[in-house]
């Protein structure tokens, strides 16, 4: 299943971000810690590298991500030039309070009344950018919603007399190259439902859960993971919850949404859908195979 989602307002958001990048000092890129590579927008990387801007990568939602996977991702990102990565929850004031100081370390020549530190918050939809903005400002300045693409225009705020914040709309890129990336982003609710088929996304998620987190599946739904695939897991959820349609058939759509929501809300446990190792394996498998030359 190939998923593509690039709403019209994102074209203007991309252009505006490129213009603003020239005037800022640091990019704060918010990532969902459960899918930090799949959710890393190549447009953001290209824009900041073109302007040679340092990047603070915030792996948000770490309270519901697999801590072992998160540690591996921090090591991975912190090995990159001009990047500093941290794991935190944008809903925890103590975590958010660390962000301005981390930004100052990446741009030590700024942060005075004469030269305020200008920070731009970026990321794909529904990863917690507006939540971070509101927590930093300690007031509800940016719209927050459970649906992707709530913010549709840039907003600028003074954090204090020597720091400025710019909040940007969630920005996707025109073509998602790998099908699994689109499915992971859909499962994590960074893509609008109008672009996906919930049962297929839930089945993809179910396959990952059964492979890497079978004990959590059994604990939540009371079914044995052995010999089961993602579609069978949806049926098991329907059976466990008693989801039936008129006529007695299982309501698989409702069960699929339940599975997705349980993952999104973290009630299944601490889960990550990718690791640096699985990412490397996926990219290697996606490489075009070179045919062996025919021997004459």
Cα separations in angstroms, 60 against 63, 97, 104, 108: 8, 14, 20, 24
Taking a C-beta distance cutoff of 8 angstroms, is the pair 31, 123 a contact?
yes
CA distance 102 to 187: 31
Q: Which CATH homologous superfamily contains domain 9-167?
A: P-loop containing nucleotide triphosphate hydrolases (3.40.50.300)
Please give the pLDDT value at position 194. 76
Predicted local confidence at residue 149, as pLDDT: 45
Residue in 191, 222, 168, 144 with CA at minimum distance from that of residue 2: 191
CATH 3.40.50.300 segments of the chain: 9-167
Predicted confidence at residue 11, as pLDDT, reads 77
Query: What is the pLDDT, as a whole number, of residue 13?
Result: 79
pTM (global) more than 0.75? yes
Both tokens assigned to 241:
């919850």
From-to residues of CATH 1.10.1580.10 in the chain: 197-282
Question: Which of 216, 204, 211, 138 has the alpha carbon at shortest distance from 2?
Answer: 204
| Closest residue by Cα to residue 30 from 6, 61, 51 | 61
Q: How far is CA 154 from the centre of its chain?
A: 20
pLDDT at 296: 47
pLDDT value of position 12 = 80
Handedness of CA 32, 190, 42, 94 (dihedral sign): negative
For the chain, how long is the longest CA-to-CA vector? 75
For residue 115, the tally of other CB atoms under 10 A from its CB is 12
| In the block, residue with structure tokens 């900041």 | 48
Per-residue pLDDT of the chain (296 residues; tens, 9 = 90+): 567 666 666 778 788 888 999 999 999 999 999 999 999 999 999 999 999 999 999 999 999 999 999 999 999 999 999 999 999 999 899 999 999 999 999 999 999 999 999 999 999 989 999 889 889 998 876 555 555 445 557 888 999 999 999 988 888 888 899 999 999 999 999 987 777 889 999 999 999 999 999 999 999 999 988 999 999 999 999 999 999 998 889 999 999 999 999 999 999 999 999 999 999 999 999 887 655 566 54
Q: What is the 3-state secondary structure (H, E, C) of the chain?
A: CCCCCCCCHHHHHHHHHHHHHCCCCEEEEEEECCCCCCCCCHHHHHHHHHCCCCEEEEEECHHHCCHHHHHHHHHHHCCCCCEEEEECCCCCHHHHCCHHHHHHHHCCCCCCCCCCEEEEEECCCCCCHHHHHHHHHCCCCCCCCCCCCCCCCCEEEEEECCEEEEECCCCCCCCCCCHHHHHHHHHCCCCCHHHCCHHHHHHHHHHHHHHHCHHHHHHHHCCCCCCCCHHHHHHHHHHHHCCECCCCCECHHHHHHHHHHHHHHCCCCCCCCCCHHHHHHHHHHHCCCCCCCCCC
- As its CATH architecture, domain 197-282 has Orthogonal Bundle (1.10)
Measured CA distances, 83 to 44, 106, 290 (Å): 13, 9, 34
């Amino acid at each position: 299943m190939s998923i593509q989602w690039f709403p019209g307002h994102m074209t203007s958001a991309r252009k505006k971000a490129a213009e603003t990048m020239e005037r800022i000092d640091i990019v704060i890129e918010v990532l969902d810690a459960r899918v930090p590579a799949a959710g890393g927008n190549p447009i953001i990387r290209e824009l900041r590298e073109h302007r040679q801007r340092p990047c603070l990568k915030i792996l948000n939602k770490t309270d519901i991500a697999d801590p072992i996977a998160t540690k591996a991702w921090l090591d991975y990102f912190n090995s990159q030039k001009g990047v500093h990565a941290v794991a935190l929850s944008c809903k925890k004031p103590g975590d958010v309070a660390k962000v301005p100081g981390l930004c100052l370390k990446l741009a030590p020549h700024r942060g005075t009344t004469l030269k305020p530190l200008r920070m731009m918050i970026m990321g794909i939809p529904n990863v917690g950018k507006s939540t971070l903005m509101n927590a930093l400002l300690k007031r509800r300045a940016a719209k927050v919603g459970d649906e992707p693409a709530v913010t549709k225009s840039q907003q600028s705020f003074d954090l204090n007399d020597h720091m400025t914040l710019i909040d940007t709309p969630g920005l996707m890129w025109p073509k998602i190259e790998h099908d699994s990336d689109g499915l992971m982003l859909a499962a994590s609710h960074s893509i609008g439902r109008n672009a996906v088929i919930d049962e297929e996304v839930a089945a993809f998620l179910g396959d990952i859960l059964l492979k890497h987190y079978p004990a959590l599946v059994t604990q939540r739904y009371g079914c044995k993971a052995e010999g089961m695939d993602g579609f069978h897991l949806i049926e098991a959820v329907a059976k466990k919850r008693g989801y039936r349609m008129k006529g007695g058939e299982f309501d698989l759509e409702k069960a699929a949404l339940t599975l997705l929501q349980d993952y999104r809300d973290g009630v299944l446990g601490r889960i990550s859908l990718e690791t640096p190792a699985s990412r490397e394996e996926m990219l290697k498998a996606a490489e075009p195979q070179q045919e062996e030359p025919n021997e004459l």
